[in-house]
Structure 1
Amino acid sequence: MNVYNDIDCIKGVGPKIKIVLNKCGIFSVLDLLLYFPRDYENVPYIKNINDADKGKKIIVNCRFLKNEGSFRSKNGKIISKLIFTDGFNIFRGIWFNMPYINKSFIIDNQYILMGKLNKIKGEITLEVPQIIKDENIQLGKLIPIYSLRENLQSSYFIRMLSGILSQINIEENLPDWVIEKYSFYSLDKAIRCIHNPKNFIELNEAKKRLKFQELFTYSLKVLILRDYINKGKKGVTFKISPELNELKNKLPYSLTKAQSKVIREILIDEKKPLAMNRLVQGDVGSGKTIIALIAMFNVIKNGYQAVLLAPTEILSKQHYIEAEKLLSQFNINIELLTGSITEKNKIRIKNDLKEGKIHMIIGTHALLEDNVEFENLGMVVTDEQHRFGVMQRSKIFNKGNNIDVLVMTATPIPRTLGLYLYGDLDVSSIDELPPGRQKVDTYYTDKKNSEKVYGFAIKELEKKRQIYVVCPLVEENEKLDLSSVNSLMEELKKKHFENFVVEMIYGKMPAKDKEDIMTRFNKGKIDVLISTTVIEVGVNVPNASMIIIENAERFGLSQLHQLRGRVGRGENKSYCFLIADIKSKRVKQRMDILKNSNDGFYIAEEDFKIRGSGEIFGFRQHGEDNLILSNLIEDSHILKEANKEAKILIKSNAKRDIFIKEHILNKLELTSKYICFN
């Protein structure tokens, strides 16, 4: 047996339990060991139940006396009552919708129960008590709480973990000098203590070690990738084209100081004999696209080809139109390659690329296909880079010979974290908006007041403006009670927009239909566009003055800020209305952040605090990140130290350190191969 074995290698894990564990994301023994508690309870052990305060959770040693049976209440719940004694008092255990619970007890046997204590009119009850069977749980210690599904009992889960931990020896995988310097627990002790801590001091020490482990491994990964990119990677030295000034003079607007600064940084990179690997981050509407086009223009004028990779067909088409309008007058041949292009055109475009007849190609993931070849590729730009994983970025390198790579994002990285998050990239920031950009007034309300919101929308439409309505799901999901695009469109047409042209757009819609709808919306032939987050990135319609976001609590802050950026692009006053379930204090706090700030950097930082990097930058979906415990904002002090020690390890030639580096590179996981069974 090893940690990569399937979870059903554990004794007692049959097909049914395996399915439930899989739903929790546990597929292997390693997954089980890394399935850390979401919280802990400091539950007191009470000898005399009368000494405990009502409303508190307690642990009590008791004897089972009698089963009082089950009955159905007026609201349909099945209530089961069993009688126990702690040696001093008689009390009832009460369970809801668990008619089988009496089978768990034998009269006169002793049991340890944990539940919420209630005292009403002299009657003592313990609500939904859990039977603690695990002899490894010492009474009075912290009780781990796991996020479990479908009646998987916490006591069973803890027993299963204890059984595995009793069979394994977890070898150390941090350098000795790091453990000594920070007085860390061993990896073995940290894993055991996080699952079964004696007290909060022990728990905090275990978390400190494991958070460092995660961030140290993450830093190593980024540093190794950067080293791989730069090692011997002599790039092309591009001269500064004399036509650059002519291009800038023909722009229909003046560049901001921030844009000019970033362009200078890119051109300096292009002049160097090393391959460029730079990230440009800028808030919504800060003007990243023109920077990319200028950078690509210079590469093309040096006799090379350039690629602009976008995450959606809509955005690709928009970039293509902008590039054609600006660059075609300079004898630059530009083409668009997306999944919806006809096969005949794809073949022609691929042949022309290979022969060097196309200077600039703009498209989606279709450009990453192996059969897309270039005669002389010099530069690749990826827009909204968090949609493309590190491995996809690496794939782009193979399309040319040490090409320059520029990646852009409108999801700003918190100012303190750029170096650590994208250590494989140099970072440029566009920290000002072009003059004339409208501040978008933001408001939030609950569903009860949505009538007023849509009433305001009608007034905007009567001024010949256009609006977006966004909802999270395409198909009805009764569990989440969210509005789908289909049902929302029918409802809004009937109740509010019967006199206006309403269309819908969603991710799975055929590309040709999406393109047709966006073209009509751009031309003002559609008044109301009901959409999923397909409009989140880059879509530019200056006449759109209002966006309404349904179920706004389901979106992250950065995503809401991106969506808000679809309006305020013209001369008209613009508005964003967030319709959300604001009963929760946390939801209200998040909505307040959006209402009170238009600063994408600040919003991104708050989003990091709430959700972590995984959801914002797509790491977890792409398998790019292993951060289970860490939060890159709250634990930035640990990240700083971990990054510093990772740099020392990279330079170290000690035998043990070389071993660690090799294994980290092969297995970028928290524990990797270092968990060994006796």
Structure 2
Amino acid sequence: MDINDSVGTIKGVGQKTKEQLENMGIITLLDLLLYFPRAYDQYQEADEMYFNGMDKIRLEAVPVKITRPFRTRTGKSMSTIYFSTQFGQVKAMFFNMPYVTSNYTIGETYMLSGKFTRKGKNIECINPVLNKDLEEIVPVYPSEGKVTGTLLKKLVRQILDKVIINENFPPDILKEEELVSLDEAVRNLHFPQNRDRLGESLKRMKFQEMFSYSMKIMLSKSIRLSSEEGIMFKMSPRLTELKNRIPFEMTGAQNRVIREILKDQKNRFPMNRLLQGDVGSGKTIVALVALFNVIENGYQGALMAPTEILARQHFEEAKRLLSPMGVEVRLLTGSSKKSERDQIAKELEKGKPLLMVGTHALIEEKVNFSRLGMIITDEQHRFGVNQRAKLVNKSKTAEVLVMSATPIPRTMALTIYSDLDLSVIDELPVGRKEIRTILLDETKRKACYSKVIEEVNKGRQAYIVTPLIDLDEDGELNSVTGLYEELSKGPLKGIRMGYLHGKMSSKEKTAVMDSFKEGEIQVLIATTVIEVGVNVPNASMMVIENAERFGLAQLHQLRGRVGRGEYQSYCIMVANIRSQTTRERLEIMVKSNDGFFIAEEDLKQRGTGQLFGVHQRGHSGLMLSDLASDYELFLRANRYAGIVYNSKDPNEMKMKKEFLDKISKSMNFICLN
């Protein structure tokens, strides 16, 4: 068995399953081995102390009554099964699973798993599952359609029964870094023997991944410095005129960063720069000044945003500022009409100097820039390295600027993004009022919505953000649809409300955002689709439901959607506070509006990664590692990569070649033999 064979060679994988696996990015046996669980469930054996609605437990149960499905007020189907257990009667409610009753027979014994809550003499549970796993730690895989977690486990087990994964690190580094073998790490990530083994295996694979990532960064930097000749741009005499057109006073930090970028543009090497700035610090205006100078030199500019909402917002801002200066601005997104795409393609191929604003549609093969002078990606943490590379490949000589509103400490940024020069906007615009942040326990939600009504009555608008689109299977989290239903009939009755989430079409999302910007919608309920860059100056209120479910960086991004106008703004985090740790973490948001401070505190709290928080398929292109929370391990992997990359030792030179060859042929950084 060769790990580069097609998944179609595995016993039990027919044509349809093969196609479904390929749609999930699993094409070879190697892809399947690297399709790691997204999380791990750890079940407690049933005990009265665990009937708290939080712990996942296994419980032996016998069905005594099965009811027929019926429709709830919200249009969902609900089936109820009553079970007899040694702890009393269990009432299990199943939502949108009408078929579930056929899985149970009255009088038979089953092993259920889920979160159970004691309510008087009875115990309740929402959507428990039949538990066939006897392991202490059960892997949970990202699944699609008929490719279930059970099937993935079965297929992975088949491969691991027939292969041994060869080691590709020398014994001395394994000993020095206390790393388990590659074979043991892969086996334990899929089928952990216990918590300790899982922790050791995660450490090994993260080290492996960050070593490869560092090698690629080093290669990128050396190629750029040794062979690439860039464009030496002249400074446009109209830059002063543009600056005078900006309708507000630029901060000292913005002016400093513009000087750094314009200085890069005059150099013969292509610019490769990271621009960090806190939420609302004014990165977009800096980007537009830089792009203006490129277009003034007769070249084309590209500004790529991660969402259509943000791309459209950048497009409108660019038109307002640059169109009066004679710059032509175009928008290209997934929902652009064919006629628009064709027209844009013609203009780009002819070399017409213009600014292209868009989403990932800009990296499609059909989009050919013939005179691309500068590429800017906004919110770079939302793009994988491969997506960014595709845009950069449109022109090897173009200036590259990546912008991020997710602050990380400067020393860390310099190491993680060692192939980039760093600029930081560390000032907020003059006159910007600090957002007042309040933490409320969910038992005080009523007070929160009174404040929303108060702001709406003043003519302001509000966001309400929640983690889910639909009803939570555990019944713990608020959802967009559930909240819209509850609030429009309850506390916010009579207020013009709308909702927004990722499953809506681009056209629907645009229509909702336009209505919100125009003030037709007073309160917008949304998922984190509005996390990045949305700018509505009249919005003064941000409510974050189930705030305990969000990371501090994400909470800071969400808070930054308000406070963009002249009005005092508020952010209310409504949380299910079950521990002092949760309270302390969220209190950091109350103490400070400084994104860099919050990033530092977040790292202190998270340490060097969490055992059961696998960073699955992250935006950096890394599958398991998080460069920030795994920073200490990254430094060690990066140091070893530097030794191997620059070594003249024949064995290390061979190792360097093998790793770089594998990285060049793969979309991920975990290299197996």
Tell me which interval the TM-score lies in, with the shorter structure as reference length.
0.7 to 0.9
Q: After the TM superposition, which residues 554-565 of structure 1 pair with which residues of structure 2 at under 5 Å, given as runs? A: 554-565=549-560
Aligned-partner Cα distance in 2 for 1:199–1:454: 43
Residues 11, 337 of structure 1: alpha-carbon distance in 2 compared, 3 angstrom cutoff = closer
Matched, 1:485 2:483: no
Aligned-partner Cα distance in 1 for 2:132–2:613: 40
Which of 212, 221, 225 is matched with 1:217 structurally? 212
Aligned-partner Cα distance in 2 for 1:161–1:345: 46
Aligned-partner Cα distance in 2 for 1:206–1:283: 35
Whether contact under 8 Å (1:547, 1:575) holds in the other structure is yes
Whether contact under 8 Å (1:173, 1:660) holds in the other structure is no
Residues 182, 532 of structure 1: alpha-carbon distance in 2 compared, 3 angstrom cutoff = closer
Q: Deviations over 1:522-575 (max 9, x none)?
A: 333432222232322212222211111223233332222111111111222111
Matched, 1:651 2:632: no
The residue identity in structure 2 corresponding to 1:672 is: C
Which of 401, 405, 427 is matched with 2:400 structurally? 405
Residues 221, 440 of structure 1: alpha-carbon distance in 2 compared, 3 angstrom cutoff = same
Q: 2:250: which partner in 1?
A: 255
Aligned-partner Cα distance in 2 for 1:25–1:346: 28
Between 640-649 and 352-361, the greater mean CA deviation after superposition: 352-361
Q: After the TM superposition, which residues 448-467 of structure 1 pair with which residues of structure 2 at under 5 Å, given as runs? A: 448-467=443-462
Q: Deviations over 1:22-72 (max 9, x none)?
A: 9x999958866996996999x9xxxxxxxxxx999xxxxxxxxxxxx9897
Whether contact under 8 Å (1:72, 1:79) holds in the other structure is no
- Report the secondary structure of 2:281's partner residue: coil
Q: 2:622: which partner in 1?
A: 625
Q: After the TM superposition, which residues 262-277 of structure 1 pair with which residues of structure 2 at under 5 Å, given as runs? A: 262-277=257-272
Q: 1:334: which partner in 2?
A: 329
Which of 261, 264, 284 is matched with 1:289 structurally? 284
Aligned-partner Cα distance in 1 for 2:432–2:579: 33
Residues 313, 72 of structure 1: alpha-carbon distance in 2 compared, 3 angstrom cutoff = closer
Q: 2:235: which partner in 1?
A: 240
Q: 1:313: which partner in 2?
A: 308
Q: 2:345: which partner in 1?
A: 350
- Report the secondary structure of 1:620's partner residue: coil
Residues 238, 618 of structure 1: alpha-carbon distance in 2 compared, 3 angstrom cutoff = farther
The residue identity in structure 2 corresponding to 1:659 is: E
Matched, 1:426 2:421: yes
Q: After the TM superposition, which residues 26-45 of structure 1 pair with which residues of structure 2 at under 5 Å, given as runs? A: none
> Which consecutive unaligned segments of at least 5 residues does structure 2 have?
51-60, 66-80, 88-104, 112-130, 144-151
Tell me the CA shift for residue 258 of structure 1: 1.7
Aligned-partner Cα distance in 2 for 1:102–1:379: 62
Aligned-partner Cα distance in 2 for 1:617–1:181: 24
Aligned-partner Cα distance in 1 for 2:672–2:155: 21
Aligned-partner Cα distance in 2 for 1:330–1:398: 29
Tell me the CA shift for residue 283 of structure 1: 0.9
Q: Deviations over 1:360-403 (max 9, x none)?
A: 12122222222222341111111112222111111112323521
Aligned-partner Cα distance in 2 for 1:670–1:235: 28
Q: After the TM superposition, which residues 432-581 of structure 1 pair with which residues of structure 2 at under 5 Å, given as runs? A: 432-581=427-576
Whether contact under 8 Å (1:613, 1:632) holds in the other structure is no
The residue identity in structure 2 corresponding to 1:412 is: P
Whether contact under 8 Å (2:41, 2:140) holds in the other structure is no
- Report the secondary structure of 1:325's partner residue: helix
Matched, 1:383 2:378: yes
Aligned-partner Cα distance in 1 for 2:3–2:507: 48
Q: Deviations over 1:107-149 (max 9, x none)?
A: xxxxxxxxxxxxxxxxxxxxxxx9999xxxxxxxxx9744469
Residues 597, 12 of structure 1: alpha-carbon distance in 2 compared, 3 angstrom cutoff = same
Aligned-partner Cα distance in 2 for 1:235–1:411: 29
Aligned-partner Cα distance in 2 for 1:444–1:415: 29
Tell me the CA shift for residue 291 of structure 1: 0.7
Matched, 1:362 2:360: no
- Report the secondary structure of 1:625's partner residue: coil
Whether contact under 8 Å (2:273, 2:401) holds in the other structure is yes
Aligned-partner Cα distance in 2 for 1:475–1:199: 32
The residue identity in structure 2 corresponding to 1:315 is: L
Whether contact under 8 Å (2:25, 2:31) holds in the other structure is no
Q: Deviations over 1:156-175 (max 9, x none)?
A: x9999999878654433125
Q: Deviations over 1:260-288 (max 9, x none)?
A: 22212211221111111212111110110
- Report the secondary structure of 1:274's partner residue: coil
- Report the secondary structure of 1:340's partner residue: coil
RMSD of aligned residue pairs (Cα, Å):
4.8
Residues 221, 445 of structure 1: alpha-carbon distance in 2 compared, 3 angstrom cutoff = same
Residues 290, 199 of structure 1: alpha-carbon distance in 2 compared, 3 angstrom cutoff = closer
Whether contact under 8 Å (1:171, 1:188) holds in the other structure is yes
Aligned-partner Cα distance in 1 for 2:671–2:31: 9
Matched, 1:604 2:599: yes
Whether contact under 8 Å (1:78, 1:98) holds in the other structure is no
Residues 305, 508 of structure 1: alpha-carbon distance in 2 compared, 3 angstrom cutoff = same
Whether contact under 8 Å (2:216, 2:663) holds in the other structure is yes
- Report the secondary structure of 1:353's partner residue: helix
Aligned-partner Cα distance in 2 for 1:70–1:471: 36
Aligned-partner Cα distance in 2 for 1:204–1:410: 31
Between 545-554 and 521-530, the greater mean CA deviation after superposition: 521-530
The residue identity in structure 2 corresponding to 1:266 is: I
Whether contact under 8 Å (2:499, 2:526) holds in the other structure is yes
Residues 390, 457 of structure 1: alpha-carbon distance in 2 compared, 3 angstrom cutoff = same
Whether contact under 8 Å (2:136, 2:194) holds in the other structure is no
Tell me the CA shift for residue 233 of structure 1: 1.8
- Report the secondary structure of 1:602's partner residue: helix
- Report the secondary structure of 1:417's partner residue: helix
- Report the secondary structure of 1:408's partner residue: strand
Whether contact under 8 Å (1:283, 1:412) holds in the other structure is yes
> Which consecutive unaligned segments of at least 5 residues does structure 1 have?
44-53, 57-68, 82-96, 104-129, 134-142, 151-156
The residue identity in structure 2 corresponding to 1:662 is: D
Aligned-partner Cα distance in 2 for 1:175–1:533: 44
Q: 2:585: which partner in 1?
A: 590
Q: 1:115: which partner in 2?
A: none
Aligned-partner Cα distance in 2 for 1:198–1:517: 48
Whether contact under 8 Å (2:276, 2:425) holds in the other structure is yes
Whether contact under 8 Å (1:275, 1:402) holds in the other structure is yes
Residues 269, 144 of structure 1: alpha-carbon distance in 2 compared, 3 angstrom cutoff = farther
Q: 2:94: which partner in 1?
A: none
Whether contact under 8 Å (1:614, 1:620) holds in the other structure is no
Whether contact under 8 Å (2:29, 2:159) holds in the other structure is no
Tell me the CA shift for residue 467 of structure 1: 1.3
Computing the radius of gyration from Cα coordinates, the structure with the larger value is 1
Whether contact under 8 Å (2:381, 2:620) holds in the other structure is no
The residue identity in structure 2 corresponding to 1:465 is: R
How many residue pairs match? The answer is 593
Give TM-score, length-normalised by structure 1: 0.73
Aligned-partner Cα distance in 2 for 1:192–1:616: 18
Residues 34, 345 of structure 1: alpha-carbon distance in 2 compared, 3 angstrom cutoff = closer
Aligned-partner Cα distance in 2 for 1:543–1:199: 49
The residue identity in structure 1 corresponding to 2:654 is: R
Residues 230, 479 of structure 1: alpha-carbon distance in 2 compared, 3 angstrom cutoff = farther
Aligned-partner Cα distance in 2 for 1:166–1:490: 51
Aligned-partner Cα distance in 1 for 2:347–2:156: 59
Whether contact under 8 Å (1:446, 1:579) holds in the other structure is yes
Between 280-289 and 368-377, the greater mean CA deviation after superposition: 368-377
The residue identity in structure 2 corresponding to 1:355 is: K
Between 537-546 and 592-601, the greater mean CA deviation after superposition: 592-601
Aligned-partner Cα distance in 1 for 2:631–2:445: 40
Whether contact under 8 Å (1:613, 1:619) holds in the other structure is no
Matched, 1:304 2:299: yes
- Report the secondary structure of 2:280's partner residue: coil
Give TM-score, length-normalised by structure 2: 0.74
